[in-house]
Structure 1
Amino acid sequence: MFDAPVETWYLWVGLALASATAVGVAATLPRAPPPDAAGAAATVDSVAASAHQTTGLHPLSAERARIGPYRLWLSEDGETGHATFAYGPVTPVRRDTALWDVLHGTPPERAFGTPADFQRAAADARDRTPEWRSRERLTIRRVSWEGVDVTLVG
């Protein structure tokens, strides 16, 4: 009794609009979850929280990574995941710098003249704007040298 007849034109227009809306919503859903930034941040935090000089590695399954003093971003196929460090600030390290050498095992006293130089280089690295870089893994190293405690991430 209260049903609309099937021949009613507005019923077909409404059905077409509802179908188009459903297809549009389905097309905008992400195809894959964002990269696991929380796992990488947990590895950084475990090294940063250590009471001793420690080194850690974390493999990344993302195309690009951006590291800041308090946060990490990972990007893969247009999806971006991010996580905040619980034990920040950390020092993001760029390639071909003295900090990069320290990150990969060079003692800080060989890479820098004084602890003040080391501390200044770490502060300058933390002040830079984070940039996207391609990475296969994160290397994390906690270094202490005559009162200068730094967590290097690169």
Structure 2
Amino acid sequence: MFDTNVDTVSVWVAVGAVSVAVLGVVTQLPTSAPPDGAAAATTIDEVATGPPGSVATRELHATEWSLSGRQLGLRSAGGTVHETLLHQVIPAVNPSLTAVLEGKRPSSVFGSPDAFRQATERAQTDRERWRAAPDRLTARHVAWGGVDVTLVGRAATEPLAALVAVFAVTAGLALYAGTLDETLAGVGGDRDVAGPTADAVERRVTSGGVVDPERVPDALAAVPSGYEGNVTLRAERQWSAGPTPPATADTDNRTVSVALGPATVRRGRLRVAVWR
């Protein structure tokens, strides 16, 4: 009565084989979601289609990235994604282009518009090349001497950003605004003014991670002394404070979450323009 049935042994062997195969499939499944390539591509497209001077940053949450022609690639443990951009962009792959990406005027970095054009042409590539991905990317629309391009690269860690964090925690937004005035006065006209101003504006209008449109009129208090400013928020409708900015204004555009009513939050765009 204890004899082993050959058919029974065959069944158990088959079950064991199937279990091992299933375990192999499960262990190969991704443990996290792939990077949000659509959000990164949207940020780049909005800058590329915006006026010259537009700039925005976006967190990537990726381990590697590639930028070739109109193709953006992001890779992480969760998978690889590719997005097609509306326009060809220029990767900031050398120190000169990186300086312009970070806010330096092209005229202070290159000897002529032709030199700037040649640098952007050398940086263009149609071959996909994967690099270590930064925590955040920056996209900046630049126009000078007939050269109109959108630069994309690693977002720099500015000393000003560290100062913003320290003063915001220790002394609040009022003290930070005064510090911002002094810092901008010291760095000169070749630095990005709209970026740090937009940081301050976003902090003033945001509560619980969501922008409150009713705070937009008060946001002009973040504009540094000696400058004019305009703050515009768009999400199904528009809120604006400040005079109409000239075409030469330094601008910062970023995607934000906007509270349109109780339990109603929509994606919107916050645009900050600064000029003398």
Q: Same fold (TM over 0.5)?
A: yes
- Write out per-residue CA displacement over residues 95-124 of structure 1, whole angstroms, 9 at most, x where no aligned residue: 5x2111111111112211221111110010
Contact 1:69 1:92 in 2 (8 A): no
Cα distance change of structure 1 residues 15 and 131 upon mapping to structure 2, 3 Å threshold: closer
Deviates more, 1:76-85 or 1:137-146: 76-85
Q: Does 1:68 align with 2:68?
A: yes
SS in 2 for 1:150: strand
Q: What's the offset of the Cα at 1:131?
A: 4.1
Contact 1:115 1:148 in 2 (8 A): yes
Percent same amino acid among aligned pairs? 36
Structure 1 partner of 2:122:
124
Q: Does 1:149 align with 2:148?
A: yes
Separation (CA, whole Å) in 2 of partners of 1:18 and 1:127: 47
- Write out per-residue CA displacement over residues 43-66 of structure 1, whole angstroms, 9 at most, x where no aligned residue: 001111114431111122223332
Structure 2 partner of 1:89:
88
Q: What's the offset of the Cα at 1:7?
A: 5.6
- Over the aligned positions, Cα root-mean-square deviation in angstroms equals 2.2
Gaps of 5+ in 1: none
* AA aligned opposite 1:98: S
| Greater RCO (Cα-Cα under 8 Å, separation 6 or more) | 1
Separation (CA, whole Å) in 2 of partners of 1:23 and 1:6: 26
Q: What's the offset of the Cα at 1:19?
A: 1.6
Structure 2 partner of 1:109:
107
Structure 2 partner of 1:34:
34
- Write out per-residue CA displacement over residues 6-61 of structure 1, whole angstroms, 9 at most, x where no aligned residue: 96332222222222221121111111111112211110011111144311111222
TM-score (norm 2): 0.49
Deviates more, 1:128-137 or 1:53-62: 128-137
Contact 1:56 1:140 in 2 (8 A): yes
* AA aligned opposite 1:140: A
SS in 2 for 1:127: coil
Separation (CA, whole Å) in 2 of partners of 1:108 and 1:10: 75
Number of aligned residues: 148
Separation (CA, whole Å) in 2 of partners of 1:11 and 1:128: 55
* AA aligned opposite 2:81: G
Gaps of 5+ in 2: 154-276
* AA aligned opposite 1:119: R
Contact 2:69 2:126 in 1 (8 A): no
